[in-house]
Structure 1
Amino acid sequence: MDSRVSARSQITTPLLLSARGLVKDYGRSRAVDGVDLDIPERAFTTFLGPSGCGKTTMLRIIAGFERPDAGSIILDGKPLLDVPPERRPVNTVFQSYALFPHLTVFENVAFSLTLRRRSPDPGPRVRRALETVHMADFADRYPHQLSGGQQQRVAVARAIIAEPHLLLLDEPLSALDRKMRSHLQIELKDLQRRLGIAFVCVTHDQEEAFALSDLIVVMNRGRIVQRDDPATLYARPANAFVADFIGSATLISGEVIGLAEGATSASLRTSLGILEAPCVEGLSVGQTAIFVLRPDHVQVVEPSLWNNQPSFKATVRHIVFKGDHYLIEAEAEGILLVFEDKLLLNPGDAVMLQINQPSCFITRVDT
């Protein structure tokens, strides 16, 4: 595994799935490019990245709907690639939910057992699965009589009734409105904990990934660029791509002019002056690096409140009302800085800004 793919996650459970050297080409386009991946048991893992990064292809390879051109997958200690989709201990909840419109909720859930010839009397197991997702009272309804959130629960019930070792979710909440998505994020995470099985989700929505995940796998151009828990991913991005893709950030380029003993922090010469912060491993003096500045790392200060942190003048350019605060964009030395404040400022206002350097991070440029 590339040394730049972090593995600082605090998840210590045994591995459920290990993939090595996965490659998948579609004509001249390489969707998955030499991916190594480990997925822990009983964890909620999310593939996150922009459209075309390879995350959905990875999900389809695990499900068995695509066969890689190279590489291997081990699930529960057994090779997986030669096992057909219907015989894998893996089930998928699709973006469209794929419920049969002519079958009731009960019949949709029972269909999974019928397909696998698992039970002559599916009734008790179907009822338990529906109770698990709080849909037992809707067993006789048809999909068109359900809300989007209710259909999603039925799709999950149909997927878990066969007791898979791994549940795959392909953009499971993308068809729902924002309020329903927020509600079902909580329900999905609670369901995963109660079931005690591994969930692997694909999404391009970083808020969704942060809300659901124990572990996030960030992909770009068919490769994994970072694998970490959400807090580490946000605070210590492995490179400029991750820093820019995860949350709002101002990325300030500069030259590394010094490294602390042990190379755990660095000094960077930038257009805003010399900035210091903890840094990614492997930087060297003279190298170009990126200072990652999140909105909560910047504040407006009065001269009497200055401390030893860097301060500089800026001009407010844009303001967005966020309810309990404002999201403000201000320009300093040609750099647009984004920060949050409760102050009511106006475009054109001059402000003095201060950076909380210890909370920032210096990372590498390459993606």
Structure 2
Amino acid sequence: MHGVLPSTAMLSPPPLLTARGLVKTYGRSRAVDGVDLDIPERAFTTFLGPSGCGKTTILRMIAGFERPDSGSLVLDGRSLIDVPPERRPVNTVFQNYALFPHLTVFENVAFSLTLRRRSPDPAPKVLRALETVHMAEFADRYPYQLSGGQQQRVAVARAMVAEPHLLLLDEPLSALDRKMRSHLQIELKDLQKRLGIAFVYVTHDQEEAFALSDIVVVMNRGRIVQRADPATLYARPANGFVADFIGSATLVPGTLTTVDARDGMAAIETSLGIINAPVIEGVASGDAALLVLRPEHMALCAEVRDRRSPVEWQGTVRHVVYQGNTYLVEAECAGIILRLTAQIPPGLGETVAIGLDPGRAFITRVGA
């Protein structure tokens, strides 16, 4: 009797990079605290978190610039622990680009191949790399003759010319103005798709992480707090830290009164009343929890008179901030400051009716 082959739809490729139990300590401070992680092939993965959370330390351990105190790093089935940086199939784009000022654009990119002794004649590969980042016409210029965005493209070309299995990027857009950053985010994402190689990116900017990433790894205090696609992180944060760090949210503390694991709903008792909403897995009745309310979950009832909200509160307007196409309104209700968007700004001190669609809210854990 012939065995049944598993469906190809059920098979997932092995991860490109696997980390298990990574630890790195500086003095009494544990920068990376027992991290387990899988980086998939051909994906754009971003480490996101506040300064000092350990994201750059992990990047440096993958690159070989830092050695883990304990744990394993395996790339393409091969341990990286005893492999020096120049022998790893990994390249890094640094925050300051690290271009050699005395070398031309062509020479900066060719240096990567010279260092690794990859090609006796680097010209064809260098020109292909520069064409990929649309910098071939600047091959004879020096870094000081380039804009910040152009220097960033040269740094990417230098990193990719040696055909690494993995490209690491350490906040490469942080020195650029907002408009240039937005433009280069689109270019980087497009470049990653065209190259078909894995990018691992480090940033503390949530908007940047969401714009670029297939997978976002949120870190805090040396640990991974949540790993998910951007939409899941925003709509289903694993705990209060993620909910607060990702986007704008009001976190309302309360206690779970009932949890229905079958339909993923729960009732939470708060100072705003008892609210039924979707809930994260692994919690039980009696647990302390947080009701996560995003600005778009709520609206001024005066702006939606055609439908009555399942939940309505009375609040007093404390602040109104103009945001271009909308206004951000902060209204106090039962001691809680609710943040919501409005098309027409209410007056300061005005009493307003606030409507909530609880199906769009979310209940998550308290801890970090």
Aligned length: 358
Distance 2:261 2:80 in 1: 46
RMSD value over aligned CA atoms? Answer: 1.4
Residue 331 of structure 1 corresponds to 332
The amino acid of 2:344's aligned partner reads L
Distance 1:20 1:211 in 2: 28
TM-score w.r.t. the length of structure 2 is: 0.95
TM-score w.r.t. the length of structure 1 is: 0.95
Distance 1:13 1:220 in 2: 29
The amino acid of 2:348's aligned partner reads P
Q: Does 1:169 align with 2:192?
A: no
The amino acid of 2:248's aligned partner reads S
Residue 197 of structure 2 corresponds to 197
Distance 2:360 2:349 in 1: 28
Distance 1:204 1:161 in 2: 27
CA gap 1:261/1:119 in 2 versus in 1, 3 angstroms: closer
SS at match of 2:16: strand
Distance 2:335 2:247 in 1: 22
Q: Does 1:73 align with 2:73?
A: yes
Residue 6 of structure 1 corresponds to none
Residue 34 of structure 1 corresponds to 34
For structure 1, the 5+ residue unaligned runs are 1-10
The amino acid of 1:180's aligned partner reads M
Residue 357 of structure 1 corresponds to 358
SS at match of 2:114: helix
Spell out, residue by residue over 1:93-131, the C-alpha distance to the aligned partner (whole angstroms, 9 max, x if none): 000000000000000000000111111111111000000
Residue 140 of structure 1 corresponds to 140
Further displaced range: 257-266 or 52-61: 257-266
Q: Is the 8 A contact 1:296 1:339 kept in 2?
A: yes
Distance 1:117 1:261 in 2: 58
The amino acid of 2:313's aligned partner reads F
SS at match of 2:156: helix
Spell out, residue by residue over 1:173-192, the C-alpha distance to the aligned partner (whole angstroms, 9 max, x if none): 00000000000000000000
Distance 2:282 2:107 in 1: 56
Q: Is the 8 A contact 1:61 1:68 kept in 2?
A: yes
Correspondence 1:53-68 to 2 at 5 A: 53-68=53-68
For structure 2, the 5+ residue unaligned runs are 1-10
Residue 211 of structure 1 corresponds to 211
Q: Is the 8 A contact 1:48 1:206 kept in 2?
A: yes
SS at match of 1:15: coil
The amino acid of 1:71's aligned partner reads G
1:13 to partner: Cα distance: 4.8
Distance 1:28 1:255 in 2: 36
Q: Is the 8 A contact 1:263 1:279 kept in 2?
A: no
Correspondence 1:234-245 to 2 at 5 A: 234-245=234-245
Residue 265 of structure 1 corresponds to 265
Q: Is the 8 A contact 1:263 1:281 kept in 2?
A: no
SS at match of 1:141: coil
1:262 to partner: Cα distance: 2.2
Further displaced range: 73-82 or 256-265: 256-265
CA gap 1:354/1:74 in 2 versus in 1, 3 angstroms: same
SS at match of 2:103: coil
Q: Is the 8 A contact 1:299 1:355 kept in 2?
A: yes
SS at match of 1:100: coil
Correspondence 1:63-142 to 2 at 5 A: 63-142=63-142
Further displaced range: 258-267 or 300-309: 300-309
Spell out, residue by residue over 1:152-176, the C-alpha distance to the aligned partner (whole angstroms, 9 max, x if none): 0000000000000000000010000
The amino acid of 1:45's aligned partner reads T
The amino acid of 1:364's aligned partner reads R
Spell out, residue by residue over 1:168-219, the C-alpha distance to the aligned partner (whole angstroms, 9 max, x if none): 0000100000000000000000000000000000000000000000000000
